[in-house]
Amino acid sequence: MSSIEFLFKEYYLKLSDFAYRWVNSEDIAKDIVQDAFMVLIEKEAMLERPAIVLKSFLYSTVKNLSINYIRHEQIAARINNVIGVQELNDEDILKNMIQAEIIGELYQELERLPNGCKHICKLIYFEDKKYHEVASEMDISVNTVKTQRQRALRILKSKFLSFFIFLITYWLFINCVFIVTF
């Protein structure tokens, strides 16, 4: 029997129990102990050290791996809380994808508008400015602001009509397929 096999048989259960007290999961504790033995195997020179040094090394490695696991879980929990990750069903995912596509297309089409229309739309819709604020900033009349806004909306509506027809057709197709399958 090799020294690794002997150490594994001698300390596996003890180290698993030790790790469990840190991570509160039997499976994760066992994984951590296996990882600790892998660390030991990678450090061949350690295997020639006295048994007490190996025991200390294994316990220290299990403790450090357990702490790393806990830190990783805490960071993941904080990230999930910050970004509000929640379970999404397929319908929610599809809805989010469609919304992202629409917003992306809107920004692209907005950039293709004539400069005056584009600038006025950005000021009104993205910066929440009133007609008179836009007029004074651009040194034009309020009527010109309104006219340019209307022109931009007319252009965008004509560009998006075919896109919305496609989305509605796609949505109907998906929902009909979904209904037929049930």
Structural domain span for residue 114: 90-181
Cα Dmax for the chain: 92
46 shares a domain with 29: yes
78 shares a domain with 134: no
52 shares a domain with 33: yes
User: Tell me, what DSSP letter sits at residue 125?
Assistant: I
Q: How many domains in the chain?
A: 2
* Domain's final residue, options 83, 104, 132: 83
Answer yes or no: is pLDDT of 110 > 50: yes
**CA proximity to 18, closest of 71, 70, 63, 69:** 63
Report the alpha-carbon distance of residue 37 to residue 54 in Å, rounded. Answer: 10
Mean pLDDT of 112-124: 89
**Higher model confidence: residue 83 or residue 4?**
4
State the pTM of this model.
0.47
pLDDT band at 138 (very low <50, low <70, confident <90, very high): very high
* Domain's final residue, options 40, 65, 83: 83
Residue 163 burial (C-beta neighbours within 10 Å; 0-12, 13-18, 19+)? middle
- pLDDT single digits (tens) 75-103: 888 877 766 655 556 666 667 676 777 77
76 shares a domain with 39: yes
pLDDT score of 96: 67
**Do 18 and 35 touch, CB atoms closer than 8 A?**
no
